[in-house]
């Protein structure tokens, strides 16, 4: 009933959701037959369904390279995230990880659930990696080496200042942006983007995740993961974990808004990066996650639920983003919509209100100055009746067909 209720509340979500389900089903059917490639693409669907969907935008050769790049870095991230691994063991593995990708026998038991499977059977990833073109291998090795060294550095170092925060995010995500730009260039489809813009693409996504995942990270067992910089949270509270307690709700929301404001500093770089992309498939691959990020920040801003549970975009809205994102005009429109949503939530008594508004207005100006905003349905404004009978009727017809099919099968089995 929850799914039906969501569609009744947002009837415009129905078609994009159905189309997304078809795309996801089609992507799962296209898993390659070779055992090592089958493992890689199956694992991609398990560790990140959203990434597995957007990667389908790419051509086969580049898609394979990006798939392996993602899984190698996800494995590296699994080692970093496993708080049960002692530092003396973890640091050497992180630093040597770029060499392990060439070893078809290497694996390391760590992580949980699907991540444990990835680490236990990492030899499949190595075998696929060795089949990539030399330029792709070199780009992946280079980024993996730099990321491993950066992660090792922060195993022994707290995120104290905003500069530390930017440095950490560079190692774990900015380098991903640089690596993807190298892969795009290696494919021959794109010019090599400036490092500063590639870095911002990664930082914007990573900072959004760090903000959204506060509660999950702080409750990590056996040891909390703390990525919010002390320079920010110490203005509001004595200990980072105190933000989750109800008596500190006012301070928690102010700190949250400060963090969102910091993330917004990367928006203009991201828009500049995306506007320079030439290949439509690479453009969609890059644009969809960035729109999801600005949408997530708009939901998180001034929202105490970040400290109580999970805040994320509803599936229907995600489906709309994937369905509608085709051109840079769509990107400008989406960023403008979500920046309007953000602006409406800024309270004048918030300590960072002036700075936040300044960054939101800079985003809105960049979107307007581009002059590419076309006539389109808004992500945040109702452009349809709250209840539409058309999708409801379609849904009932589909349910009737499914029930008829089910009853027919039961009758045949008697």
Catalytic residues: 168, 212, 225, 285
Buried b (16+ CB within 10 A) or exposed e, 385-411: eeeeeebeeebeeeeeeeeeeeeeeee
Q: d(Cα 153, Cα 91) in Å, to the nearest integer?
A: 8
Q: Which two tokens stand for residue 264?
A: 């917004």
Note the residue count of the chain: 414
Backbone angles phi, psi at 386, to 5 degrees: -60, -40
Nearest to 205 by CA among 176, 225, 165, 181: 176
> Rounded to whole angstroms, what are the CA distances from 47 to 43, 68, 118, 227?
6, 13, 9, 22
The candidate with the shortest Cα–Cα distance to 34, out of 136, 131, 135, is 131
Q: DSSP string spanning 100-165?
A: HTT-TT-----SSHHHHHHHHTHHHHHHHHTTS-HHHHHHHHHHHHHHHHHHHHHHS----SHHHH
Cα(219)–Cα(358) distance, integer angstroms: 34
Token pair of 23, please?
């795309």
Closest CA to 376 of 319, 315, 325: 325
């Amino acid at each position: 009933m929850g799914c039906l209720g969501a569609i009744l509340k947002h009837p415009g979500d129905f078609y994009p959701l159905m189309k997304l389900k078809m795309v996801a089903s089609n992507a799962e059917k296209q898993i390659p037959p070779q055992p090592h490639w089958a493992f890689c693409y199956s694992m991609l669907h398990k560790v990140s369904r959203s990434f597995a969907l957007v990667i389908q935008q790419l051509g086969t050769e580049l898609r394979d390279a990006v798939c392996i790049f993602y899984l190698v870095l996800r494995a590296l991230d699994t080692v970093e995230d496993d708080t049960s691994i002692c530092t003396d063991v973890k640091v050497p593995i992180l630093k040597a990880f770029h060499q392990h990708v060439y070893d078809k026998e290497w694996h390391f038991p760590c992580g949980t659930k699907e991540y444990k499977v990835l680490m236990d059977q990492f030899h499949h990833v190595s075998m696929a990696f060795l089949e990539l073109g030399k330029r792709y291998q070199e780009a992946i090795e280079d980024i993996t080496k730099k990321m491993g060294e950066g992660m090792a550095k922060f195993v022994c170092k707290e995120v104290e200042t905003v500069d530390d925060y930017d440095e950490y995010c560079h190692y774990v995500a900015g380098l991903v942006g640089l690596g993807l730009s190298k892969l795009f260039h290696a494919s021959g489809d794109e010019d090599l983007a400036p490092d500063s813009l590639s870095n911002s693409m990664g930082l914007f996504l990573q900072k959004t995740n760090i903000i959204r995942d506060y509660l999950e990270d702080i409750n990590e067992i056996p040891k909390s993961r703390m990525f919010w910089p002390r320079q920010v949270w110490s203005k509001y509270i004595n200990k980072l974990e105190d933000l989750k307690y109800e008596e500190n709700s006012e301070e928690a929301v102010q700190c949250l808004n400060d963090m969102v404001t910091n993330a917004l500093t990367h928006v203009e770089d991201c828009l500049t990066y995306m506007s320079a992309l030439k290949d439509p498939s690479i453009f969609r691959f890059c644009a969809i996650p960035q729109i999801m990020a600005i949408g997530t920040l708009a939901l998180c801003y001034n929202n105490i639920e970040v400290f109580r549970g999970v805040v994320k975009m509803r599936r229907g809205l995600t489906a709309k983003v994937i369905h509608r994102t085709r051109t840079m005009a769509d990107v400008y429109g989406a960023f403008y919509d979500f920046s309007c949503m953000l602006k409406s939530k800024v309270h004048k008594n918030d300590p960072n209100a002036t700075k936040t508004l300044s960054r939101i207005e800079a985003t809105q100006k960049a979107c307007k100055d581009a002059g590419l905003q076309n006539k389109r349905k808004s992500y945040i404004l109702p452009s349809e009746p709250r209840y539409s009978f058309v999708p409801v009727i379609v849904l009932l017809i589909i349910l009737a067909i499914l029930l008829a099919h089910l009853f027919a099968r039961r009758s045949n089995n008697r």
